[in-house]
Amino acid sequence: MIEKARRGVRGLLARIRPPRIRPTDPPSTVVDGEEREIRIRPFRDGDVEGLVEMYDAFDPEQRAQGTPPIQADEIRTWIEGLLEGVNVVALHDGEPVGHVSFVPDGTDRHELAIFVHQEYQHAGIGTELMAAGLGHAREQGVEYIWLTVESWKRGIQRFYSRAGFSTVNPMGAAHRMSRTL
């Protein structure tokens, strides 16, 4: 009972002033805010079908800038494109529940995409996945990362800022953010 109360206090403090997200080296196992054991590790070839299923069950309202696609065939093609880069997955009971990808853009830079299935959001998985993704990307030689985020999504912008991203273009409907590793 006391330990649960301590976790609750730590969770409240983390929401008030969340800590910076620093690169870590996967693999790792964490217990999320819902007491689920989550394994975070680099992508393996056998993860493709699980990712297709995760993205196929993804709430269309959770999509960002048209991704993930909606139909399974389009999802599979999209994932194949993501696999040109560095990828890390979050697994619960062996099934993907989160995915971060760093896709080369042809200019020695990598675009970041991170998704956590809606049933696993707001439990700390995105933070751990981002940290492991940044660590693995650095290990794989990624040096510069960028992303775009809708201007009205202030919460996710704060999340990216905690991970060391700075806004480089705050104009228009989408803001561009970047960082070096």
Predicted structure pTM score: 0.87
Q: Where are the domains of the chain?
A: 24-180
pLDDT at residue 19, as a whole number:
86
pLDDT at residue 62, as a whole number:
77
CB count, 10 Å around CB of 163? 23
Say whether domain 24-180 belongs to CATH 3.40.630.30: yes
Instruction: For the chain, 181 residues long, give each residue's pLDDT as a single digit of tens.
Output: 676 666 666 655 556 667 899 999 999 999 999 999 999 999 999 999 999 999 999 888 877 777 888 888 999 999 999 999 999 999 999 999 999 999 999 999 999 999 999 999 999 999 999 999 999 999 999 999 999 998 888 899 999 999 999 998 777 788 899 999 9
Query: Cα separation of 148 and 167, whole Å?
Result: 9
Query: Cα separation of 147 and 129, whole Å?
Result: 16
